[in-house]
Amino acid sequence: MPSAYPGDLDSVKVRGPIVALDVHYEARRARVGCVAFRAWSDEAPVLERAIEVEGAPAAYAPGAFYLRELPYLLAAVRALRVAARVWVIDGYVTLAGGKPGLGARFAEAIGAPVVGVAKNEFHGGRAARVLRGASKKPLFVTAAGVPLDEAEAAVRAMHGPHRIPTLLARADRLARGG
């Protein structure tokens, strides 16, 4: 996992955007929705792209979700050629008992901080619960390379009145072909 922490997650001294990635699978390929923005509270992206990646996804294996998504995330990073200061994924960084999840493996592979924002709870995992808007259902935030309390505050500060922040919803729509 990356050991260098750049400090304030919105620091102008730190180069590069924040990039959110979301993956949608089809039978023989996947599409990765990519949305880059300068500050956590931004309403609009500075870059958005859908990246098609050939290859059938690995079968789902409980506790080994990374086997399914990691190849697509890494392909998107290579295609984007962006030095993000923080990457945001749809999933967990760490699982129960501190076991590395998708986000931890992604952070290790790219050598950069990763914030995981999951819509569903992974039982036994240690995640910050973030309530947004009027929703009574939390988002589950985990992180590698940044303090969890700062990742939690960053996700809470993201633009949008709903449970899912505007730019994370945009990455999801791009991944689904919207």
Q: Could you give the domains of the chain?
A: 18-175 (3.30.2170.10)
Number of CB atoms found within 10 A of residue 50's CB: 18
- Higher per-residue confidence, 129 vs 123: 129
Query: What percent of the chain is modeled with pLDDT above 90?
Result: 79
Q: What is the pLDDT of residue 62?
A: 75
Higher-confidence residue: 15 or 38?
Answer: 38
The stretch 155-170 carries a mean pLDDT of 98
Mean pLDDT throughout 127-145? Answer: 96
Question: Strand (E) positions, 4-62?
Answer: 18-25, 29-37, 47-54
For residue 20, pLDDT over 80 is answered with: yes
pTM: 0.90
Q: Mean pLDDT, the chain, as a whole number? A: 90
Flag whether pLDDT at 13 surpasses 50. no
pLDDT, mean of residues 24-39? 96
Report pLDDT digits (tens) over 50-68: 999 999 999 888 768 889 9
Query: Is pLDDT above 50 for 17?
Result: yes
Given a cut of 80, is residue 8 above it in pLDDT?
no
Residue 11: pLDDT band with limits 50, 70, 90: very low
Q: Which residue has the tokens 């967990």?
A: 92
* 128-130, strands of its sheet edge to edge: 47-54, 29-37, 18-25, 86-89, 114-118, 139-144, 128-130
